[in-house]
Amino acid sequence: MDMKNRYIAALLAFFLGGLGVHKFYLGKWTGIFYLALCWTYIPSIIALVEAILYLVNGEETFNEKYNKKAMENSYKNVTYDPTPSNQNVSSSNDDISIVCPKCGHVNEAGSNFCESCGQKL
Ligand SMILES: [Zn+2]
């Protein structure tokens, strides 16, 4: 979903607003009412007011109203953090052998005393 530009929306509302083109641009189905009532010129007047509102209310209000989904999606994309797939799950502490500090004998994991010299590990 692309971000809607409020200047484009305002221009469409200003020139083609009587046909609801700016509403369709903003993804609003209500544009069909403009199209259906375009012969009354009422949609043109409403669109003209909307064109001014788009420009007057500023970027934040416009984004809040029409770009919420697009902004939420881009936010998700930025914060999306895939779990590292190269985590070494197979190695656990049970596999680590203990080297005796006194004689250097390699003892089995979980040994409390050295097999060779009896040194407390
Ligand atoms: Zn030892």
pLDDT tens for 23-42 read 999 999 999 999 999 999 99
The 10s digit of each residue's pLDDT in 75-105 is 666 655 666 555 555 545 557 899 999 999 9
| Site of tokens 């607003």 | 17
Ligand 1 mean position, distance from CA 92 (Å): 24
Ligand 1 mean position, distance from CA 8 (Å): 80
Q: What distance in Å separates the CA atoms of residue 81 and residue 29, rounded to the nearest whole number?
A: 35
C-alpha separations of 41 from 30, 35, 38 in Å: 16, 10, 5
Ligand 1 mean position, distance from CA 22 (Å): 83
- DSSP symbols for 54-110: HHHHHHHHHHHHHSHHHHHHHHHHHH--PPPTT---S--GGG--EE-TTT--EEPTT
Question: Any idea where the domains of the chain sit in the sequence?
Answer: 6-66
Ligand 1 mean position, distance from CA 120 (Å): 8
Neighbours of ion ligand 1 (CB under 5 A): 100, 102-103, 105, 114, 116-117, 119
Q: What distance in Å separates the CA atoms of residue 14 and residue 21, rounded to the nearest whole number?
A: 10
Q: What distance in Å separates the CA atoms of residue 80 and residue 54, rounded to the nearest whole number?
A: 32
Ligand 1 mean position, distance from CA 121 (Å): 9
Q: What is the mean pLDDT of residues 64-83?
A: 75
Ligand 1 mean position, distance from CA 97 (Å): 13
Ligand 1 mean position, distance from CA 111 (Å): 11
The 10s digit of each residue's pLDDT in 1-14 is 579 999 999 999 99
Q: Is the pLDDT at 64 greater than 80, yes or no? A: yes
